[in-house]
Amino acid sequence: MACASPAYIGATHWFLFVAVISFISTLIWCAVYFLSLREVLKVPINWILTELLNTSIKAVLYMIAFIAQLSAWTAYRTSSSNIAAGIFGIFNTIAYAAGAYFLYIEWKNTNTQ
């Protein structure tokens, strides 16, 4: 987020939107697990499927965001921090995609038993 701030063009606005929304929702999921809210709340929610969908959507949004960020800023000469933000977006996409893959495996294992 710090590498892309302040947002000078539309692609960076989108990139920062995705980064902030992903950051906030990841913090919420960390709080859910840290406070054991899954066990405390007696809500009939398939938590693993919900987290799988959330993580998958974030991976797709990050992929769109880093492509937009890198394609918009490669034409500028003095845009090293914005290029770095796009590269960090690639890493975040990989991390969220790996998380979605592992959640998919866990969801499939819990549904077959």
Coil/strand/helix, residue 79: coil
What is the extent of the structural domain holding 106?
10-112
Question: Is residue 2's pLDDT more than 80?
Answer: no
- Please give the single-letter amino acid code of residue 64: I
Asked if the structure places residue 88 within a domain, the reply is yes
Question: Is residue 113's pLDDT more than 60?
Answer: no
Asked if the structure places residue 1 within a domain, the reply is no
Mean pLDDT of 48-60: 95
Mean pLDDT of 100-112: 90
Q: How many domains does the chain have?
A: 1
So what's the pLDDT on residue 45? 86
CB atoms within 10 A of CB 34: 8
Q: What is the mean pLDDT of the chain?
A: 89
So what's the pLDDT on residue 37? 85
